[in-house]
């Protein structure tokens, strides 16, 4: 056969083979959504992710290595990895009572160390270096990023099991947030100097809801006022999505971002169900993508483009896939029971997340401890929110 | 023909032949196995902006992480296509010979 004809035949065979293989590839990674998230009990993946995370907190050397690696890129990740893990373990303990003692032990270790570090090393230890570039507008300086997540950690711990030593701390922290919000004319608190994040506000308000549930207080008016302000001032007009950050005077800084929005929608479930569903549906329409059976999430909607940063992670060109947004999309999909999206995201995770399993413990090599902790939270969320929504009388 | 002669003949196969395709799929598989056994999977953390283990620094981590990623993608996307194409091409050659 002539060489040209041979080359042509080989190319045709390659094209035909690609047409056969590429649409089938996702089938090798396809699992039902229940492999990742179940309504009751723990999914196999949740169990394996929890085993790895608890291993990290049982082995100081391993923990140091992993945290040092993350802190080289972003000190926030060290802190958020702790937050997501504590929130996740509270749900794990409620889902699987046999694991409750181990969960409580790990949660207490994380909370105690985090509070100690915050006290010893100061506000900036868990923040990015630019927190030191200029002073906070409101003095004495506080970061809602730290206060909100710590308050939610402490409240989650107390919901799993009350601990008298932890009662004053979250109450004081919640009171700080409540008083500061009431003093702020725009209901906006700084996480960084003159930089307020929607993510941090909804986490803090969720912590306030948990505190109301635990202590019988009532901050419904404050929550209502903040949601009304957010609907009016923080919604990006073109996409209808909440913006990520704004200045203390309420002017927008960064538009809607997937790395924030999925978690924002989940926290809004405790604050305003209708608004939460609206934000999730919009994010699903404008940020999610699917190629060859693999789902992923983009960082920005078509109507707004921001710079790739530490939150978005590297953006894969053409598809505009963001590792940060795709990871956080698990939280949205689990929280809103979006099984098709969750199953397809899970296929992508197993395809491109490079899972590594050892002795029943799972980690993703393309992720890091904060990413894995966020995935664990996505795989276990539900019981805490359900308890708080049901109210104290119903769940006692 | 001895075993080594067969191997040598296989190695020298034309790139646009079923053997050539299988050989390249095999090379991709061997490259992936080597990188995997060398522990480069851990460097995939560069995908989220975290350096690889053992504090290798950003440049080395990025190089090793991207190398692993490229070879993995070649293994799961390109190698199966090459194997399928080798099968399709073999069938086509057999049909032509029968005619």
DSSP collapsed to 3 states, A200-239: HHHHHHHHHHHHHHHHCCCCHHHHHHHHHHHHHHCECCCC
Most confident region among A2-6, A390-394, B30-34 by mean pLDDT: B30-34
B49 with A68: Cβ contact below 8 A: no
A206 closest CA partner among A264, A123, A159, A259: A264
| A366/B44 Cβ within 8 A | yes
Is A328:A259 a contact under the CB 8 Å cutoff? yes
Q: How many CA atoms lie within 13 A of A18 on its CB side?
A: 9
* Yes or no, beta carbons of A74 and B76 under 8 Å apart: no
Q: Which of A6, A323, A356 sits opposite B48 (nearest CB)?
A: A323
Let me know the angle formed at the C-alpha of A293 by A372 and B29, rounded to the nearest 5 degrees: 75
Interface test with B, best of A70, A296, A366 (most B CBs within 10 A): A366
Does residue A72 or residue A119 have the better pLDDT? Answer: A119
With tokens 């996307």, the residue in question is B77
Which residues, in sequence order, are bridge partners of residue A321? A298, A316
Q: How many Å apart are CA A161 and CA B52, to the nearest integer?
A: 38
Beta bridge partners of B29: none
Residue A228 has pLDDT above 90, yes or no: yes
Residues of chain B whose C-beta is under 8 A from some C-beta in A? Answer: 14-17, 21, 41-45, 47-51, 53, 55, 72, 76-77, 80-89, 92
Q: How far is CA A386 from CA A44, A92, A102, A159, A203, in A?
A: 22, 14, 22, 11, 16
User: Average pLDDT, stretch B35-59?
Assistant: 83
Count of pairs with CB atoms under 8 A, one residue in A, one in B: 94
The pLDDT, as a whole number, for residue A394 is 53
Q: Looking at residue B98, what is its pLDDT?
A: 83
Instruction: State mean pLDDT over A238-256.
Output: 94
- Partner-chain residue, chosen from A7, A17, A356, that has the shortest CB–CB distance to B88: A17
Mutate to test the interface with A, among B24, B48, B82, B94 (most CBs of A within 10 A): B48
pTM attached to this predicted model: 0.92
A322 three-state secondary structure: strand
Report which DSSP code applies to A22.
T
**Residue A395: is its pLDDT beyond 60?**
no
pLDDT tens, position by position, A357-379? 998 999 999 999 999 999 999 99
Is the per-residue pLDDT at B37 higher than 60?
yes
Query: Among the listed ranges A103-107, A310-314, B71-75, B93-97, which one has the minimum average pLDDT value?
Result: A310-314
Compute the distance between CA of residue A210 and CA of residue A222 in angstroms, rounded to an integer.
Answer: 14
Compare all CA atoms of chain B with the CA of A11 and give the residue at the minimum distance: B16
Return the pLDDT at A396: 42
- Mean pLDDT for all residues in chain B: 87
Disruptive mutation site among A5, A6, A13, A309 for chain B (greatest number of B CBs within 10 Å): A13
Strand, helix or coil for residue A247: coil
Residues of A with CB below 8 A from B45's CB?
A: 69, 365-368
């Amino acid at each position: 056969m002539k060489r040209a004809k041979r080359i042509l035949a080989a190319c045709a065979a390659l094209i035909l083979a690609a047409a056969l293989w590429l649409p089938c590839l996702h089938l090798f990674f396809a699992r039902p959504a229940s492999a990742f998230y179940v309504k009751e009990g723990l999914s196999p993946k949740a169990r394996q992710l929890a085993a790895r995370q608890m291993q990290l907190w049982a082995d100081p050397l391993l923990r140091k290595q992993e945290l040092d690696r993350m802190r080289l890129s972003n000190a926030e990740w060290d802190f958020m990895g702790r937050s997501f893990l504590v929130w996740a373990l509270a749900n794990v303990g409620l889902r699987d009572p046999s694991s409750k003692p181990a969960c409580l032990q790990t949660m207490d270790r994380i909370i105690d160390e985090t509070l100690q570090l915050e006290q010893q090393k100061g506000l900036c230890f868990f923040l990015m270096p630019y927190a030191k570039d200029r002073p906070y507008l409101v003095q004495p300086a506080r970061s809602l990023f730290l206060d909100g997540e710590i308050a939610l950690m402490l409240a989650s711990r107390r919901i799993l099991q009350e601990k008298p030593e932890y009662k004053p701390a979250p109450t004081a922290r919640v009171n700080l947030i409540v008083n500061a919000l009431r003093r702020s004319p725009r209901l906006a608190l700084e996480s960084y100097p003159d930089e307020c994040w929607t993510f941090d506000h909804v986490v803090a308000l969720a912590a306030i809801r948990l505190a109301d549930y635990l202590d019988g207080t009532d901050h419904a008016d404050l929550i209502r006022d903040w949601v009304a302000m957010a609907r009016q001032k923080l919604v990006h007009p073109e996409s209808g999505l909440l913006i990520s950050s704004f200045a203390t005077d309420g002017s927008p800084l960064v538009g809607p971002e997937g790395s924030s929005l999925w978690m924002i929608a989940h926290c809004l479930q405790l604050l305003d169900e209708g608004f939460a569903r609206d934000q999730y549906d919009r994010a699903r329409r404008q940020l999610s993508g699917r190629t060859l059976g693999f789902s992923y999430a983009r960082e920005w909607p078509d109507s707004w483009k921001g710079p790739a940063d530490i939150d978005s992670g590297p953006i894969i060109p053409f598809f505009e896939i963001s590792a940060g947004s795709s990871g956080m999309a698990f939280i949205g999909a689990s929280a809103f029971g979006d099984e098709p999206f969750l199953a397809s995201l899970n296929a992508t995770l197993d395809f491109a997340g490079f899972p590594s399993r050892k002795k029943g413990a799972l980690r993703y090599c393309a992720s890091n401890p904060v990413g894995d902790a966020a995935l664990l939270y996505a795989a276990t969320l539900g019981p805490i929110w359900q308890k708080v929504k049901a109210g104290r009388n119903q769940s006692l | 023909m001895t075993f080594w002669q067969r191997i040598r003949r296989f190695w020298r196969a034309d790139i646009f032949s079923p053997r050539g395709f299988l050989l390249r799929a095999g090379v991709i598989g061997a490259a992936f196995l080597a990188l995997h056994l060398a522990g480069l999977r851990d460097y995939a953390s560069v995908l989220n902006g975290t350096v690889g283990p053992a504090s290798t620094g950003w440049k080395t981590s990025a190089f090793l992480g991207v190398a692993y990623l490229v070879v993995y993608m070649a293994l799961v996307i390109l190698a199966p296509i090459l194997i399928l194409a080798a099968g399709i091409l073999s069938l086509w050659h057999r049909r032509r010979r029968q005619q």
